[in-house]
Each structure stands twice: as C-alpha cells, then as structure tokens.
A and B are shown apart, each in its own frame.
Chain A
Amino acid sequence: MKKLKLDFTPIFLLFIALALAFLAWRKGGSELAFAGIKSGSTLLLHELPLLIAAFLTAGLIQALVKKETVERWLGAESGWRGIALACIGGALIPGGPYVYYPIAGALLHSGAGLGVLVAFVTAKSLWSISRIPVEIALLGPRITIIRFLVTLVIPPLLGFVAEALFGKTIHQIRIAMKKTSDVIDTPEVSEKSL
C-alpha cells in the first residue's frame, strides 16, 4: 500500500520526457524528436550487461541478508556500540524506503537510541552495499569510489552528533509515534477529528 506513493515518479518522468521531446521537435522537427528515443535506447542496450549484473547482485544480497537478523541485532541498542552496529546494519539492509523505514520504526519502538536510528538511516543512504553495484553500473567506478570515500565518515558522525545534541528527545519521539500508531489502528477516531 505504501508503494502507491511511488506512482508519482513515472508520471513526473514521463512529463519530463514529453517536455524534452517537444523541445527536440521544436528544434529539429520529428527527426530530432525520434533521435532522442533512438539515442536513449541505444544507450540502454549498451548498459544492459551492466544492469543485469547490478540487478543480480542486488537480488542476491537481498536474499542473503535477512532483515529479521538486522532487526534483532539492533533492537534496544544505544551509545557507541549501537551507533557502530547501526552503521553496519544500515549498509547491509537491502531494499527501498518502504523496506527500511518500517524497520527503523520497529527499532524505535524496541528501544533503540536516537543516534542509532540516525546512523542506521544515514548508513542505508550512503553505505548501502546493495546500491553500490547499481551506482558503479550507471555512474562508473571512479565517481562511485570518490562519492563513497568523501561521505564515508558521515553515518557514524551524524549518529554521534544527533545523540549528543538531541539524544533526550528520543522519548518524546517514541511516545508521539506510539500515539500515532494507536490512531492509525482506530480509523474512526481520525475521521471524527477531521
């Protein structure tokens, strides 16, 4: 159900593609308008062996890393050790936001600290081992390595900074989210409050 929100993406992309097609047509008639599609599909065919390897790697990592393991591993962790573990867990956990945010939410309720949760989400964003193959395939190894190295310290660093500055708010966050999930459980209440 959560995935429905992603439906915005194809519409947005299609809109951009049509706008570009229109620009090409204005500039060079139907010949240029078709040249864009031709250039794109040639490139896609050229990238196909790479993409197959990337999809294969991502799928295998997903099958080999069980999300329950990561969840059990990080529940109720906090402090130094927790942040370090959260970075590794975030790097290993495969899948899009509709996979890792429910996990982060579960960790929040099982007692994980703020730094742990920030480190987990940030490591997923910057260290994700299932996304790196895709990045190598589509952006090239050089950009991927530079991007990875330059942002290497960020997940633990943000975890520590969040914990040091706002660590105490985690109780508020936990209580607030508990209330919201109660409201979601009883839809008639939220309807009345509207």
Chain B
Amino acid sequence: MTTATITLWIIALPLLVYAWRRRDNSLNKGLQLAWSTTRRNAALLIIAFIIVGYVNILSPTELVQKWIGADSGWQGLFLAEIIGMLLPGGPYVVFPLIAVLHNAGAGLGAVVTLVTSWATQALLTITFELPFMGWRFVAIRWGLGLAVPLLAGAITQALF
C-alpha cells in the first residue's frame, strides 16, 4: 500500500459512512455518479496510460530534463505554462501525463506550473467559458491569471 492509496481510502471511507448514515439515497447516488464517471473516462484513461507507457519505454529523459528539468529556470517554467494551456481533457487524462513527465525528469517547479496552468489557463476550457461568461470576463480572468502558473512554479523551485 502506498501513501497515496491509504490517504485516499482515509478520505473515501468516512464519506461512504456519512452518505450511508444520511439515509437520503446519497450513497446510491454517489456510487452511481462514481460509476458513470468511471465509464465515461475509461477509454480516455486507457489511452492516457498507453501514452504514459510509451513515454516510459522511450524514456526521453535527456529531452525532458533539458527543456523542463529542475535546472531549466524561467525558460522551463515558461514552456511548462504553454504546455499546460494546451493539455486537453480532465484530471484523469492530464495527471498521468504530468506524472510521467515528472518521472522523465521534469522539475518540481515545472510540474506545479503545468498543473496550475492546466487548471486555470487551459485553452480548451475557454470554449465552455465563452458562451456563458462572455469575452470580457474571459479576458479579465485569463489575463489576470497568466502570471500565476509561472510564479507558483518559481516559488516551488525556491522553497522545495
């Protein structure tokens, strides 16, 4: 058992008990939602892990280290922010890809920049944002957020 597995089950079990104790069908609904998320993401997850497998065996360590390694500085963080913006899909697809980049030599700062940039600046998400919020809102939110992934990565590099 890894730390991650234990942590997750420590979160999941009390929620299970709480949902069951509420006796308002929360447990059933939660399990159904979990199952439908699993089904919806299964194919993507498999493709994502096949990509991870290929990156593993091709081990482009030199390439990854050179571009977004721990010593790649601001240029590496900048590149990580651009990659983060372009990453498609939800967490089930994006996190395995970032994890394999980390294994192949991406620095901790670059990883934090990647996750933050994907979370706040992803271009694909804007296609959902525009019809509901309008271009002015998108311009303000996205524009103000531009520096955040870079700074988050730089702070990570300085502290950890």
* Interface residues in chain B, defined as those with a beta carbon under 8 Å from any beta carbon in chain A: 2-5, 7-9, 11-12, 15-16, 18-19, 22, 26-27, 29-35, 37-38, 43-58, 88-93, 95-96, 98-99, 102, 108, 111-112, 115-116, 119-120, 124-125, 127-129, 131-134, 136-137, 140-141, 144-145, 148, 152, 155-156, 159-160
Q: Is the CB of A147 within 8 A of B152?
A: yes
**A41 at the B interface (CB under 8 A):** yes
Interface size on A, residues (CB 8 A): 86
Q: Is the CB of B44 within 8 A of A50?
A: no
Q: Which residue in B26, B44, B53, B108 is a CB contact (below 8 Å) of A43?
A: B53
Cα-based distance from A184 to B124 in the complex (angstroms): 21
Q: Is the CB of A27 within 8 A of B120?
A: no
8 pairs from A and B in contact (CB 8 Å cutoff)? A37-B50, A40-B52, A51-B45, A104-B133, A135-B115, A138-B91, A138-B92, A147-B112
Cα-based distance from A59 to B12 in the complex (angstroms): 10
Q: Which residue in A10, A54, A154 is a CB contact (below 8 Å) of B44?
A: A10
* Complex interface bits, A168-185 against B, C-beta within 8 A gives 1, otherwise 0: 010011001100100010
Q: Is the CB of A138 within 8 A of B148?
A: no
**A85 at the B interface (CB under 8 A):** no
